[in-house]
Amino acid sequence: MPQPDLGFTLMPDGGGRGIAVPEVPEVAFPRVDCFLESEAAAHALGFAFTSGLIDRLARRADTAAVELADEFRFERPQFACLIGLLVGAGIAAEPEPGRIGLTEAFRAVLPCRDLIEAKLAFAAAASEDLRQHFPAFVADLPAFMAASRTFELFRYDRCFEITPDNLDATRRWVAYTTCLTRYEAGPCLDRIEPGRHLRLLDLGGNSGEFAAQACRRAPNLTATVFDLPVVCALGRENLANRAEGARVMFLAGDMRRGPIPEGHDLVTFKSVLHDWPAEEARALLEQAARALAPGGRLVIYERAPMALRQRPLGYVQSADLVFQPFFRDADLYIETLAMLGFVDCTVRGLALETPFHLIESRKPGGVR
Ligand SMILES: C[S@@+](CC[C@H](N)C(=O)[O-])C[C@H]1O[C@@H](n2cnc3c(N)ncnc32)[C@H](O)[C@@H]1O
């Protein structure tokens, strides 16, 4: 079927249509998944973190294996097994027989230990769900979601009433999304240049991490994070001690019911729209479009479906596989924006550890 001409500029991976524009290499984004491809190695790394072995190895270029085994009171065969797994995964190396150190590649990502540990924890839960309930994942997705630990975590119904229990339950997944966004925000903000705007509205903006990073880059920007009441309460905590937090306001509400606050010249959805069926995602875009100031920009930054056919999926990608049925091509979003009269639409594919769409579009009117 011929594709309608929507008047959009499409960039690589934007659904395979449009002109090719070379993608900027992701130099600043930490690549950690390569160390977590094997389940056994992931367990080895988790244990090496909690036992203090990684900290110990990080202090010196390399150390005698026997010295480490004695210090940590490990039996030699098990210690050899642990080290073998770490070496096989590219985390550790043996520069000479009997000596062990961290590889340069792993040292380079060690400052992002929070991300590695968050991924380890989430992959453990997701892979357990897939192990136990794979038939339901394929044949009965609602049953998979009802039975799985990963979907049990994201209980938005517990985000309306601020109670100690709801705060505790919500804190567990908000810690994960905040950690991912700490690293995923940069590649988006590098491209959209928030300094071109004065007032940002981040819908489903969670703990304010994305908004705070935007404000840090743009001294004249102020931001509103719109999210559910319990999430906003945690967001205020998250930004309490950050200088840019003073320019981020939290507004609690239900974006499906509105009203969404007006007067913003940049509206963003980061990893939000895939949560919603097509009709509701369209309705959210309509609400956002109405609230956006004329001439303002709407940005959608969303995970795209993973390319499963190219190679066997690694252990750590279980964390995204459970959400794969919800990740969409960009078409629904760009068609909705076109229907809403938006112009100057660009779609880029960002090759982070998993693929992302970065869709930008402008509401007509206003002064440019
Ligand atoms: C998958 S999370 C993404 C969060 C954040 N944008 C990020 O990338 O880390 C979806 C967000 O939408 C929020 N959300 C869900 N339903 C909502 C609603 N009805 N109104 C406002 N926010 C909602 C959730 O609380 C959550 O913060």
Q: What is d(CA 313, CA 320) in angstroms, rounded to the nearest whole number?
A: 10
Nearest residue (by CA) to ligand 1, atom 2, is 272
CA angle 206, 210, 215 (to 5 degrees): 125
User: HSE (CB half, 13 Å, CA atoms) of 353?
Assistant: 23
Each residue's pLDDT tens digit, 251-287: 999 999 978 999 999 999 999 999 999 999 999 999 9
Instruction: Give distance in angstroms: CA of 342 to centre of ligand 1.
Output: 24
For residue 259, cis peptide bond before it (omega within 30 degrees of 0): yes
Rounded to the nearest angstrom, the distance between the alpha carbon of 293 and the centre of ligand 1 is: 22
Q: Which atom of ligand 1 is nearest to the CA of 205?
A: 6
- Distance from residue 172's CA to the centre of ligand 1 (Å): 14
CATH number, domain 19-29+114-362, options 3.20.20.70, 3.40.50.150, 1.10.645.10, 3.40.50.11440: 3.40.50.150
Q: Look at residue 62 and give its three-state secondary structure.
A: coil
Strand pairing of 199-203 and 292-303? unpaired
Protein residues with CB under 6 Å of any ligand 1 atom: 156, 159, 177, 181, 204-206, 227-228, 231, 254-256, 270-272, 275
Query: β-strands 264-270, 199-203: how paired?
Result: parallel
Name residue, tokens 């964390």: 319
Which residue has its alpha carbon closest to ligand 1 atom 19?
254
Q: Where in the chain is the domain with CATH 1.10.10.10?
A: 34-113
| pLDDT at res. 258 | 77
Predicted local distance difference test score (pLDDT) of residue 367:
59
Which numeric CATH code is attached to 34-113?
Answer: 1.10.10.10
Cα distances from 332 to residues 13, 54, 282, 348, in angstroms, run: 15, 45, 8, 15
- Index of the ligand 1 atom closest to the CA of residue 275: 1
Centroid of ligand 1 to alpha carbon of 247 (angstroms): 20
Within the chain, all domains assigned CATH 3.40.50.150 are found at 19-29+114-362
Helices and strands (DSSP H and E) totals, the chain: 14, 11
pLDDT of residue 12: 32
Q: What pLDDT is recorded for position 259?
A: 87
**Among 128, 131, 65, which residue's Cα sits nearest to residue 98?**
65
> Ligand 1 centre and the CA of 212: distance in Å?
16
pLDDT attached to residue 19: 27
Q: Residue 254 CA: which ligand 1 atom is closest?
A: 20
Cα gap 172→168, rounded to integer Å: 7
As a whole number of angstroms, the distance between CA 46 and CA 120 comes to 7
Tell me how far apart the alpha carbons of residues 145 and 325 are, in angstroms, rounded to a whole number. 11
Ligand 1: atom nearest CA of 159 is 25
Three-state DSSP class for residue 18: coil
Residues 359/342, Cβ–Cβ less than 8 Å: no
Mutate to test the pocket of ligand 1, among 177, 269, 357 (most ligand atoms within 8 A of CB): 177
Tell me the three state secondary structure of residue 92. Answer: strand
C-alpha of residue 67 to centroid of ligand 1, in Å: 49
Radius of gyration of the chain (CA): 22
Q: Strand order of the sheet with strand 292-303?
A: 9-10, 343-351, 355-362, 292-303, 264-270, 199-203, 222-227, 248-252
Instruction: For residue 197, report the phi and psi dihedrals to the nearest 5 degrees.
Output: -125, 165
- Report pLDDT for 22: 31
- pLDDT value at position 295? 97
| Coil, helix or strand at residue 150 | helix
In a structure prediction context, what are the per-residue pLDDT tens digits for the chain, which is 368 residues long? 222 222 223 233 333 332 233 333 344 799 999 999 999 999 999 999 999 999 999 999 999 999 999 999 999 999 999 999 999 999 999 999 999 999 999 999 999 999 999 999 999 999 999 999 999 999 999 999 999 999 999 999 999 999 999 999 999 999 999 999 999 999 999 999 999 999 999 999 999 999 999 999 999 999 999 999 999 999 999 999 999 999 999 999 999 997 899 999 999 999 999 999 999 999 999 999 999 999 999 999 999 999 999 999 999 999 999 999 999 999 999 999 999 999 999 999 999 999 999 999 999 987 55
